[in-house]
Amino acid sequence: MNFSQLSATDIAAHIASREISCEDIVRHFIREEELWNPRLNAMVENRWDEALAEAREKDAFLAENPEAELPPLFGVPVTIKEMIAVEGFHSTMGSIHRKDNIKSKDASVVKRLKDAGAIILGTTNVPELGFWFECENPIYGATSNPYDLTRTAGGSSGGEAALIGAGASVLGLGSDVGGSIRMPASFCGVFGHKPSNRIVPATGHEPVDFDNALEMTGSKYPLTTIGPLARKAKDLRLAMELIIGPDGYDQEVKKDFKLSPPIESWEGAKVWILPSPTMTMVAGTDEDMSEAVLMAGKYLEGMGAELKTLRHDFFKSAILLWSAGLAEVEGETFEKLLFENEHPSIPLEIFRSFTTEAKYTLPGLLTTVAERISTKFQKHTAQLEELNRLRDQLNQLLAGKNILILPAHPRKAPKLHSTYLRPFDFAMTAIFNVLGVPATAVPIAQNEGLPTGVQIISAWGQDHVTLSAAESLEQAFGGWQAPEVL
């Protein structure tokens, strides 16, 4: 049995039927991580010994309780983004000022996976403070793409996407504030889901913790949304069913939200496509990324949907609207988080970022510069009004089982250390964070050995629609394709 081709759902089923043992499956993924991680630098902290011990305990339980009803992830190994709290593990956010920060309690979503029987294998790499679409920081270094080690895995959930894309993890948790699940998923050829805002508790993900969650409401509540990444589309739904819902701490989570059943037919649905979006300060879309959108749309049209093309400049102001929405969130500035109580010369630190004396990454420093500039233009009234209009318009357009398909990024995985040359390309994903709607990254094909893919959007709360579309497209195009060991 090829464990690397199994979904988390299938692994759990094989364990439940006693076809494979928990220890065998955990050992398999540890071997894959030992093989891949020296190449990728994706996993930053592991608990392999503890995971093996837990696997043996679960196997012993199965032997003693052959008729026991098992939770849905019993014995399934998973990985977690480093910014999401895992008890006893570091949560540095890739910042030198947080290098000794160790969590004493699991994030709510991590606890839910454990309660469902999952075995945590380790945590994965992030950019400095999690605020860039390339994983590199002064503590752990840079993460490479499993399809080409000279290219980025994306960010900020890049370590997670790289490990899953390599076949060294089957399921993981990431988070998304501007595309941080969807861009890495697209670059690494896997599935990733940014849930509708406020249906998954953020407790245990910076900056929301158990001791401040009750205060993190309204304008203090972050845009960040926790969601799953997986090699197989159906595992996204499984993970979502486990992590949604209130936890007693996060006061913003909708109390009555339930994930609806999968879509069984695309007849009667409108599938809007946007192959080549025009967005301010965003580069034009590469032909192979546009082609992936057309392929996905035409397939669903063949399944009975009505295919329609959205105006190319529908999201023209995406980067401005995302910036305005982000500015409405109260909290520490990025500069304060980056430098703590230090007051360095930013030009000097930018120079140092190219040397062995670097304390901060260039993207982190450039983000600080951009933040300083933006504070001079604090009035976002017009942009916020436009954002509200666009939100209403999009939710009406994508009501029911209607969807929008567009690229998750203008290009395939960029070369390492090149993303700052096109710093606003993330707007293609970021706009949907401030709109609050669900968005699912789906691999469609490969070109020149690199994955191409799309993101699927629906109205708020219609997560089951985008997840169903992901499963349909996986059946059509094959989904994740294992890379060769590089």
pLDDT digits (tens, 9 = 90+) for 302-327: 999 999 999 999 999 999 998 889 88
Task: Please give the pLDDT value at position 335.
Answer: 67
Q: Where are the domains of the chain?
A: 3-324+381-477, 329-377
pLDDT higher than threshold 80 for residue 373? no
For residue range 440-462, list pLDDT tens digits in order.
999 999 999 999 999 999 999 99
Q: Residue 430 belongs to what H/E stretch? A: helix 427-435
Task: Please give the pLDDT value at position 277.
Answer: 99
For residue 144, whether the previous peptide bond is cis, meaning omega lies within 30 degrees of 0, is no
Res. 362 pLDDT band, cuts 50 70 90:
confident
Res. 369 pLDDT band, cuts 50 70 90:
low
Q: 280-305: string of b/e by CB count within 10 Å (b at 16+)?
A: eebeebbebbbbbbbbbbebbbeeeb
- Distance in angstroms (rounded) separating the CA atoms of residues 37 and 415: 19
- Distance in angstroms (rounded) separating the CA atoms of residues 113 and 82: 16
Res. 132 pLDDT band, cuts 50 70 90:
very high
pLDDT higher than threshold 90 for residue 479? yes
**Arithmetic mean of pLDDT, 104-119:** 99
Task: Please give the pLDDT value at position 43.
Answer: 99
Q: Compare 352 and 144 and report the one with higher pLDDT.
A: 144
- Distance in angstroms (rounded) separating the CA atoms of residues 475 and 478: 6
Task: Please give the pLDDT value at position 2.
Answer: 87
Task: Please give the pLDDT value at position 420.
Answer: 87
Task: Please give the pLDDT value at position 374.
Answer: 59
CATH superfamily ID and name for 3-324+381-477:
Amidase signature (AS) domain (3.90.1300.10)
- As a whole number, the mean pLDDT across the chain is 94
Phi first, then psi, for residue 327 (nearest 5°) are -65, -20
Residue pair 281/424 in contact (Cβ under 8 Å)? The answer is: yes
Which amino acid type is present at position 212?
A: N
Count how many residues are written for the chain: 486
Query: Would you please indicate which residues are annotated as catalytic (active-site) residues?
Result: 81, 156, 180
Categorise residue 18: left if φ over 0, alpha if ψ from -120 to 50, beta otherwise: left
Phi first, then psi, for residue 294 (nearest 5°) are -65, -40
Res. 379 pLDDT band, cuts 50 70 90:
low
